[in-house]
Amino acid sequence: MITLAGGVNAFPDTEGWQIASLERFIATDPEVIVVNSGTGMGTEGVDLIYRYFMNEPRLKTMKAIQNNRVYIIESDLIDRGGPRLVDALEEVAADIHPDLFDADIRKNAPIPQSPGFGVIPLAFAFLAVLLIRLKR
């Protein structure tokens, strides 16, 4: 997604999902940092993640921190396959190239939240499992 959005991955030699050490992360000194919000974090969690990056003393020398180029992208937007990945791509591209996009792109695009199943369908699912087990 970073490449499609016109960016360059700070860890090009890393395949798949891996954890980079803090030292390695700082050494890359990226111009832009895009962070996944984490599932279910909500607005408070996004703010917490952002504040961590901006206030962590060990990160103060990084270009992205100094230039306020840290962006938190909603997990539901970027982690799930489907049509919302197009919205995620647009958001990442706007983070990397803000001069090419409307400044309010993040504010204007409400993120639909997954409705989940709710309590009543969940209760019926448990009841169905119980009935199936009783019939055996």
Domain harbouring 70, CATH code? 3.40.50.1980
Output the CA torsion sign for 43, 46, 47, 48: positive
Q: In this predicted structure, what is the pLDDT of residue 75? A: 77
Count Cβ atoms below 10 Å from residue 49 Cβ, excluding itself.
17
Give φ, ψ of 72 to 5 degrees: -105, 125
pLDDT band at residue 110 under the 50/70/90 scheme: very low
Is there a domain that residue 101 lies in?
yes
Single out the residue of 103, 15, 95 nearest to residue 50, CA to CA. 95
pLDDT tens by residue, 68-82: 999 888 877 777 777
Q: Tell me how many domains the chain contains.
A: 1
pLDDT band at residue 108 under the 50/70/90 scheme: very low
Token look-up 């984490």 returns 38
Is there a domain that residue 11 lies in?
no
pTM of the model: 0.68
Determine the average pLDDT of the residues in 99-128. 58
pLDDT tens by residue, 3-53: 888 888 888 888 877 888 899 999 999 999 988 877 666 666 677 888 899
Token look-up 């030699």 returns 13
Is there a domain that residue 4 lies in?
no
Is there a domain that residue 96 lies in?
yes
Q: What is the mean pLDDT of the chain?
A: 78
What is the residue range of 55's domain?
A: 22-135
